[in-house]
A and B are shown apart, each in its own frame.
Chain A
């Protein structure tokens, strides 16, 4: 489709100083494309939380973003340890993050709930020892 814009980012492992750069970059692109601030915020927050998760839990990974006038899809793929219990991970307050992460103001078990809160569709595919794919879509109404 001609009006699909595709972006690709790599998230580095264990580097908190750059966590948020990919979501920041996408935010800028969406602003230039003229999306409403409401839509931009939803995408930016969902991506940012996911990016932080990739740094915390999964030694980084890759993000593919597809932008059309109708929707923005973000696919986050990592080769991390996988999520043992997705239902538990979706509960607000449940976290397996360590002290280092908490000192940064994260790791309070709000990551996945926040991603769900800000997106219209969210699918998690995970396999223990192989990795996780978080596929999120925000529709432009």
Chain B
């Protein structure tokens, strides 16, 4: 089954069939007037809106702003989550000191902090950064901790018998052993990252894709609203594909991640 499913042009086209059919159905419904444009504009209208926004430069500007926000939040929150995950995974004392508090904070939906964040930071850049960083922190922290904890103790004993010092043991045994779990965390984090950014940009921003959508809403420009949604979908898919590519590169040793 698996062998035949990955061969031939037909099977390669298979994942695209359903989206394509939906778009055609959507286009036909719009052209026949079943879907009024103020409810849902035709795909061609969305494409046209994209073209207009590309030409006046605002699409690229807003996209760049949103992308930069997403990445800075991911890097800040991810770095803190990764470091604390390693620290608590390697040191029992650190875990006893910090983990219960972190687990408690984890249960607060980070978007519930928006009113407080606006009071603290206003609607400036730091508010959005804070929310994205907080959102991505937990998936990365939890999965890094889990990954470090679950490295095969027999491999660690082997490393010690072969005279590895702590640094080598970490670099050659613990970190590579934790990597599959860390990647799971990264993929979760990317999902949270876009979600947080969308909410933060629609509530309080004067630039970015979310802002573009909210501004369009004021003038009933449904084509631009839909365009924004489509862009978020594409960004999410790109982030996921990038992670998959990284997994294939760094986890090539693991049969579960070998090229499908």
Asked whether A and B interact, the reply is: no
**A contacts, CB < 8 Å to B:** none
